């Protein structure tokens, strides 16, 4: 049980230091990841920025992730679920385009220039506050990989065992402090898991970690 996201970030940073992980840049997935990512970036003496993806929801249940798309259009689709629900390609194209635009707008709120910083040949650590389905993390990792990063790691305080195992196919290294068999939701492992506003997230991005 983590006290809050900053506590989780401190513990995650300590583990990455223990492993000797090196990074040129840390990318948090807004908004909840920024309080976690700030201590990680500070410990690794790396720049902090964001990578943004949006969940693609099912037609009858927007909360059910059938995939995710990053701000550059990098997409991950849960083909098994899509087939089971009989979702059309037309719907998938529409929701992909809509959520990619939402992701681009969200990214623009966090930085002055659109698109990721230059990642060519860089060692990158992508941080989230936890992994449930792994949909948004997958889309983010694919965007980072497509941007030419030399080494891509995913670091999270907690994740579902199945999703963490699947994400190992998307990153060079995946670090999760906890992968409990009893996983139901990320928030169950935090005493304080309140919403992080855009304003608060930007403060972490600018350097305030407390």
In a shared domain, residues 59 and 155:
no
In a shared domain, residues 159 and 68:
no
Phi-psi label, residue 121: left if phi above 0, alpha if psi -120 to 50, beta otherwise: left
- As a whole number of angstroms, the distance between CA 1 and CA 13 comes to 16
Q: How many other C-beta atoms can be found within 10 angstroms of the C-beta atom of residue 161?
A: 13
In a shared domain, residues 120 and 17:
yes
In a shared domain, residues 96 and 119:
no
In a shared domain, residues 11 and 99:
no
CA angle 107, 110, 113 (to 5 degrees): 70
Domain count, the chain: 2
In a shared domain, residues 71 and 92:
yes
pLDDT at res. 210? 43
- Using only the alpha carbons of the chain, give its radius of gyration: 16
pLDDT at res. 142? 94
In a shared domain, residues 46 and 119:
yes
Give me the CATH number covering residue 158.
3.40.50.2020
Give me the CATH number covering residue 71.
3.30.1310.20
pLDDT at res. 108? 86
pLDDT tens over the chain, length 210 residues: 899 999 999 999 999 999 999 999 999 998 899 999 999 999 999 999 999 999 999 998 988 899 999 888 889 999 999 999 999 999 999 999 999 999 888 888 887 666 788 999 999 999 999 999 999 999 999 999 999 999 999 999 999 999 999 999 999 999 999 999 999 999 999 999 999 988 888 889 887 444
pTM over 0.85: yes
What is the extent of the structural domain holding 147?
A: 5-51+115-206
The number of residues making up the chain comes to 210
Token pair in block for residue 63 = 């909360």
In a shared domain, residues 120 and 188:
yes
In a shared domain, residues 85 and 44:
no
Give the pairing of strands 53-57 and 65-70. antiparallel
């Amino acid at each position: 049980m983590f006290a809050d996201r900053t506590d989780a970030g401190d513990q995650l940073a300590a583990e990455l230091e223990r492993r000797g992980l090196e990074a040129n840049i840390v990318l948090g997935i807004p908004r909840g990841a920024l309080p976690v990512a700030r201590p990680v970036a500070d410990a690794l003496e790396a720049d902090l920025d964001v990578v943004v993806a949006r969940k693609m929801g099912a037609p009858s249940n927007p909360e059910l992730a059938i995939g995710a798309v990053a701000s550059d259009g990098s997409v991950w689709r849960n083909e098994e679920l899509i087939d089971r629900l009989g979702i059309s390609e037309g719907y998938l194209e529409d929701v992909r385009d809509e959520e990619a635009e939402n992701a681009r707008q969200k990214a623009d709120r966090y930085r002055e220039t659109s698109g990721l910083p230059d990642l060519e040949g860089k060692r990158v650590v992508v941080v989230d506050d936890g992994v449930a389905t792994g949909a948004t993390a997958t889309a983010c990792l694919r965007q980072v990989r497509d941007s030419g990063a030399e080494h891509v790691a995913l670091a999270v305080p907690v994740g579902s065992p199945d999703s963490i195992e699947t994400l190992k196919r998307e990153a060079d290294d995946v670090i999760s402090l906890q992968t409990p068999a009893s996983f139901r939701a990320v928030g169950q492992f935090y005493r304080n898991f309140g919403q992080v506003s855009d304003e608060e997230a930007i403060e972490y991005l600018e350097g305030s970690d407390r």
